[in-house]
């Protein structure tokens, strides 16, 4: 649900995320397990814009 919320939020603001499925999955798992901090999340999302 979190990933979908990010994609929809970005889309509503005119931004298309261009993340490969594996990269997006890895980020979601890292966030869910606490391995990704805010800086890593922000960096990944910024790279995918």
> pLDDT band at 6, cuts 50/70/90?
very high
State yes or no: pLDDT of 15 exceeds 90: yes
Give residue 21's pLDDT.
Answer: 84
Over residues 17-40, mean pLDDT: 94
Give the pTM: 0.81
- Residue 11 CA from chain centroid, whole number: 13
Q: What are the distances in angstroms from CA 48 to CA 9, 19, 21?
A: 14, 5, 12
Over residues 23-47, mean pLDDT: 95
Compute the distance between CA of residue 35 and CA of residue 9 in angstroms, rounded to an integer.
23
Compute the distance between CA of residue 29 and CA of residue 16 in angstroms, rounded to an integer.
21
Compute the distance between CA of residue 5 and CA of residue 42 in angstroms, rounded to an integer.
15
């Amino acid at each position: 649900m979190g990933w979908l919320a990010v994609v929809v939020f970005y889309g509503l603001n005119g931004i298309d995320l261009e993340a490969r499925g594996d990269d997006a999955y890895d980020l979601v798992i890292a966030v869910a397990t606490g391995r990704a901090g805010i800086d890593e999340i922000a960096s990944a999302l910024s790279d995918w814009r």
